[in-house]
Chains A and B, each alone.
Chain A
Amino acid sequence: MSDVTQRDAFFQRLYELARRDVNIVIVAADMSAPALDKFRRNLPAQFVNVGIAEQNAILIASGLALTGKKVFAYAIAPFITLRCLEQIRVENAIMNIPITIVGMGTGLSYDSDGPTHHLIEDIAVLRVFPNIEIDSMTDSVMAEAYADISCNRKRTNYIRLDKDLCPTVYDADFDFSQGMAKLREGTDNIIISTGPMTHVANEIANSPQFEGMDIGVVDVFEIPIKESVLLEMIDGAKRIITLEEHFLPGGLGSAVCEILNDNEVPIFVKRLGLDVNAGYKHCYKYGGRELIRAGHGIDRRGIEQAVTAHFCAQTQRVTI
């Protein structure tokens, strides 16, 4: 388990970069973080607080970008994406003004805060736009690396930061340029996941319960997904489970299915995520993130059952 959150890893690295590059600017909508407080104190000329005004944050950030700044627009994730969606559409998708949107607390990160603070629609909503890249953070090493990567992007990217401490799965020198990584080798059965669900996928694939089963884990952290890379990573697979802390329509699972369909790859995919038909009722379940996930069958137990049903059924059929 990392002792640094994704957010602090990201902003600590950004602080180091900004000390050497006066053109790096943060536009924050009244958001704080321990690493960000240092940035604000020591680099005040590069820190702009717009107040609780996310629409204006995107506009100001885009205007600053037109003057040569590398701008990071930062706020609570649902507000810096959905609240200002049309600003992102016009300034960053249509006009292609490159900024970095940093969203804090994606998925069910804010588990006790109710539906306004959950962000379980952003991948579906943002991946439809040209010129917008979604970067879904898996661990703090990746978050730190994406501070550097974001500074060199020529299009707008959106960094999804999870709020909780999480295990470290990547080495510091890992090359993130493929947009995904095969964290566990396996051919027949593949779990494709994103964000915090990748840790769950890893745990399950490595658990004694499934010992001897051929289960690979692919962590997708960049959307749009690089099709050729994905097809190579799942080459030979017979069954796939996609796993995300996001409503199912339009999410990671949809993106994977589109690629398989468009490339005429006949693999049966089971999508696991939040059930849109259940509405937002889950958001009023309190007692922790795992409890909310359980309502949608994507807690540890629910995923194990799905893996058994989907992957073991395949194994059995092959045996027969």
Chain B
Amino acid sequence: MDSLIEALEKKSYEIRRAMLEMCIGAGKGHVTSCFSCVDILVALYYGNLLACDPRNPEWPDRDRFILSKGQASPALYTILADLGFYDKSELKKFNKPGGMFAVHLQKDVPGVEITAGSLGQGYGVAAGIALGAKMNMELYNVYALLGDGECYEGSIWETAMFAAHNRLNNLITIVDRNYLCVTDFTENLIALEPFEDKWRSFGFHVVRVDGHSFEQLLGALKPLRSRTSDKPTVIIADTVKGQGAQSLCYQPLWHGRAPSGQIADRCLAELDRRYQNV
């Protein structure tokens, strides 16, 4: 196995474990929403893709990462702590008095670009930043991670139309396609498919990958630094909501919850078992 891929697999496990422990400790957090996108975040932050500086979070040339699905903040908070944006002890204070952060994403946390929690909004801000970067002749990329359920918001498509028309090829959209919302599977709820066709018809360069395969994530993301297309790119990453803890997968009503008691122990064991060979 490629050493980078191996390192990413290991990191993926560590982040999942720390994040799950954090949420179990707080009794809060959208654990399944985080598990579906952890590998995407790990690919970006540890796969030599996203330029950032933990010692200087406001570094002007940094790539911007916009977590539009703000409910996945525990995954990002855990990664930012691991990278040294702030002390790891902050994770123990998740949603506790004196803590720095809680369930939804907030801008004042070092390394975080926006406040999010109201879906469909971060993406437009990301497009605005991408346009501003072009106006200012700056070379950084803007990565926006959307939930697939977030794509029911009409503002997502207002932004998509805008991004394609303005040739924002510095805007890289990643959709965490976990097929689940709060109450039901997306294709039962209001069908999102044919999802690729929707984005393509809006003028996007569309790539579909397995969102838990680092080979595929890196393969899709790496060429984008070279602006190989004048179109904005969307990477539809097929994922499993809860990936890593089998007990939480494929069950809509686990949305927005953290496991407790025996289920929490089982989830931790499932996580350890799944990644024991890493």
Answer whether A63 and B136 are a contact pair too, CB < 8 Å, given A50-B162, A55-B158, A95-B114: no
Q: Which one of A56, A63, A66, A69 contacts B158 once the chains associate, using CB atoms below 8 Å?
A: A56
Check A67–B124 contact: CB distance below 8 A. Answer: no
Residues on A with beta carbons closer than 8 Å to the beta carbon of B138: 67
Residues in B118-139 with C-beta less than 8 Å from chain A = 118, 121, 123-133, 135-136, 138
Distance in angstroms from B102 CB to nearest chain A CB is: 14
Q: How far is the CA of A69 from the CA of B121 in the complex (A)?
A: 19
Residues on B with beta carbons closer than 8 Å to the beta carbon of A62: 124-125, 128
Please count the residue pairs between chain A and chain B whose beta carbons lie under 8 angstroms apart in the complex.
87
Does A267 belong to the interface (CB within 8 Å)? Answer: no
Residues in B213-244 with C-beta less than 8 Å from chain A = none
Task: Classify the secondary structure of B's interface with A.
Answer: helix
Residues on A with beta carbons closer than 8 Å to the beta carbon of B10: none
Does A60 belong to the interface (CB within 8 Å)? Answer: yes
Q: How far is the CA of A68 from the CA of B132 in the complex (A)?
A: 8
Check A63–B135 contact: CB distance below 8 A. Answer: no
Q: Which one of B117, B130, B131 contacts A48 once the chains associate, using CB atoms below 8 Å?
A: B131
Does B251 belong to the interface (CB within 8 Å)? Answer: no
Does B247 belong to the interface (CB within 8 Å)? Answer: no
Residues on B with beta carbons closer than 8 Å to the beta carbon of A63: 124-132
Check B121–A59 contact: CB distance below 8 A. Answer: yes
Does B26 belong to the interface (CB within 8 Å)? Answer: no
Does A202 belong to the interface (CB within 8 Å)? Answer: no
- The size of the chain B interface, using a CB distance under 8 A, is 28
C-beta contact mask, A89-108 vs B, less than 8 Å → 1, else 0? Answer: 01100110000000000000
Does A190 belong to the interface (CB within 8 Å)? Answer: no
Distance in angstroms from B158 CB to nearest chain A CB is: 4
Check B115–A60 contact: CB distance below 8 A. Answer: no
Check A66–B162 contact: CB distance below 8 A. Answer: no
Residues on B with beta carbons closer than 8 Å to the beta carbon of A68: 132, 136
Does B155 belong to the interface (CB within 8 Å)? Answer: yes
Q: How far is the CA of A60 from the CA of B114 in the complex (A)?
A: 13
Q: How far is the CA of A56 from the CA of B123 in the complex (A)?
A: 9
Check A60–B121 contact: CB distance below 8 A. Answer: no
Q: How far is the CA of A55 from the CA of B118 in the complex (A)?
A: 13
Answer whether A64 and B132 are a contact pair too, CB < 8 Å, given A50-B162, A86-B118: yes
Does A157 belong to the interface (CB within 8 Å)? Answer: no
Q: How far is the CA of A60 from the CA of B130 in the complex (A)?
A: 9
Least CB separation from B116: chain A residue: A90
Does B159 belong to the interface (CB within 8 Å)? Answer: yes
Q: How far is the CA of A63 from the CA of B158 in the complex (A)?
A: 14
Residues on A with beta carbons closer than 8 Å to the beta carbon of B200: none
Q: How far is the CA of A60 from the CA of B159 in the complex (A)?
A: 8
Chain A residues close to B by CB (< 8 Å) = 25, 45, 48, 50-51, 53, 55-56, 58-69, 86-87, 90-91, 94-95
Chain B residues close to A by CB (< 8 Å) = 107, 113-118, 121, 123-133, 135-136, 138, 154-155, 158-159, 161-162
